[in-house]
Amino acid sequence: MSNTASAQVVDKKHQLVSAAFQLFYQRGVHQVGINEVLSTAGVAKKTLYHHFPAKQELLLAVLEQRATDWLDWMAKRLSEVEQGSAALEAFFLALHDWFAGEAPQLHSFHGCFFTKVALEVQDQAVLARCQQFRLDLAALLAPHLQLCWPLEQQASAKLALLLLLKDGAETEAALNADPTAATRALSLWQLAAQHPA
């Protein structure tokens, strides 16, 4: 296969994943049929089944791409400030920008894609991929937490709290179209961070 042909194959696959993400994220996985994905992507059915023999495989590819995009975006935001407490505060400020539609590379905000998919799709492989996103996010945040709380038990407790605040802020922002949920979560985080345990 020539480089041009190979690039076209990759491009078609990317078009499918991108179109499927936008549709699944806005409307839900079960509400979107394969024909709608094909129409949005501008790709033939034969091409779809060449890359993704089943809808579940397409969904797993969508989850994989979303995880990469989201975590790369957040890692970049955290790298723009000092490690430790400044990065943990930057985490919430980045969420605010996402909620407010100021992170175009993540598309319009409709809540946490992984939570939505995990609740909608009763499939072990899909659930495992959604859980992996949370583990990868925890791994991204862990070095900053450890700088602030060198004791593993304290850092672990703060991580659990931080993730709960993120979940709550995402839910409130999605339900009420309120990006300030992230800054209120930041205020709660700052209060909690003053306590060692």
Contact between 190 and 89 under an 8 Å Cβ cutoff? The reply is yes
Give tens-digit pLDDT for 27-70: 999 999 999 999 999 999 999 999 999 999 999 999 999 999 99
Q: Which CATH number fits domain 1-53: 1.10.287, 1.10.10, 1.25.40, 1.20.950?
A: 1.10.10
- Tally of helices (H runs) and strands (E runs) in the chain: 9, 0
Both structure tokens of 180? 């300030």
Contact between 117 and 29 under an 8 Å Cβ cutoff? The reply is yes
Which part of the chain has CATH 1.10.357.10?
54-193
Contact between 155 and 145 under an 8 Å Cβ cutoff? The reply is yes
Instruction: Give the pLDDT band (50/70/90) at residue 8.
Output: low
Contact between 67 and 40 under an 8 Å Cβ cutoff? The reply is no
Domain 54-193 of CATH type 1.10.357.10: yes
DSSP 44-108: -HHHHHHH-SSHHHHHHHHHHHHHHHHHHHHHHHHHTS-TTHHHHHHHHHHHHHHHTT--GGG-S
26-32 contacts: CB < 8 A, separation 24 or more? Answer: 26/108, 26/110, 28/116, 28/120, 29/55, 29/59, 29/117, 29/120, 29/121, 30/120, 30/121
Q: What angle do CA 135, 31, 19 make, to 5 degrees?
A: 65
pLDDT at 6 over 80: no
Mean pLDDT across the stretch 157-166? 97
Instruction: Give the pLDDT band (50/70/90) at residue 194.
Output: confident
Residue 5 is predicted with a pLDDT of: 46
What does the buried/exposed string (b/e) look like for 48-73 if buried means 16 or more CB atoms within 10 Å of the residue's CB? Answer: beebbeebeebbbbbbeebbeebeeb
Residue 177 is predicted with a pLDDT of: 94
pLDDT at 2 over 90: no
Mean pLDDT across the stretch 96-119? 96
Which part of the chain has CATH 1.10.10?
1-53
Contact between 75 and 132 under an 8 Å Cβ cutoff? The reply is no
